Amino acid sequence: MHPSHNTLSEIVREQSIEVLNKHLAAAIDLHGQVKQAHWNVRGPGFLAVHQFYDSVSGVVETWSDQLAERAGALGGTAHGTIQVAAARSFLIPYPHGIAGVAEHNFAVAGSLAAFGQSIREAIGKATQWDDPATADLFTEILRAVDLQLWFVASHAALK
C-alpha cells in the first residue's frame, strides 16, 4: 500500500481495496459486455436499443472510475487493466453469436443483476469493517445498477 493520511486502519483499508478491485474487474468486464450488445444488436427498434446500450456502457464506465479512485484514495493500487479484469471478473462470459434485442437484453440484464448482487454483499462487508465511505460508494452504485436493470427490462416484457 501507498502511504496515506487516511484514518481508517490499514487492515480495513486493505480489505476495502481488495473488494473494490474485485468489483473494478467486474465493472470493466460489464462495460465490455454492454458494448458487445451495443455493437451487435439487430432487429426492430435497432437504433433506439443501440443508443440505449451505449448510454448504459457510459454509466458502467463511470462505476469503474469511481471504484478505482476509491481504491487509490485508501492508499491502494487500482488493478484496472483488461488483462486483470479478464482474469478476475466473476461475471459469466457474454454469449457470442447473438443478435436479437431480446437475447441481448437477457444477457445484459443477467450480468447487471449478478454485478448488483455482489455489490449488495460488498455494502455489508464495508459496513461490517466500519468503512462507511466505501459502503456509501457501493450503495450509490447499487442504486444505479437497479435503475439500469429497470431500463433494460423496459425494452422487453419479462415473463
Q: Where are the domains of the chain?
A: 10-154
Q: What local confidence, expressed as pLDDT, does residue 156 receive?
A: 65
Mean pLDDT of 147-158: 81
Average confidence score pLDDT of the chain:
94
> What is the distance between the alpha carbons of residues 108 and 111, in angstroms, rounded to a whole number?
5
Distances (CA, A) of 95 to 67, 99, 115, 129: 26, 10, 17, 36
Q: What local confidence, expressed as pLDDT, does residue 158 receive?
A: 43
Q: What local confidence, expressed as pLDDT, does residue 40 receive?
A: 95
Q: Which three cell numbers stand for residue 105?
A: 437484453
Q: What CATH topology corresponds to 10-154?
A: Ferritin (1.20.1260)
Mean pLDDT of 68-94: 97
- Is this model's pTM higher than 0.85 or not? yes
Q: What local confidence, expressed as pLDDT, does residue 33 receive?
A: 97
* Burial (CB count <10 Å: 0-12, 13-18, 19+), residue 80: middle
Q: Which three cell numbers stand for residue 41?
A: 444488436
Mean pLDDT of 133-149: 98
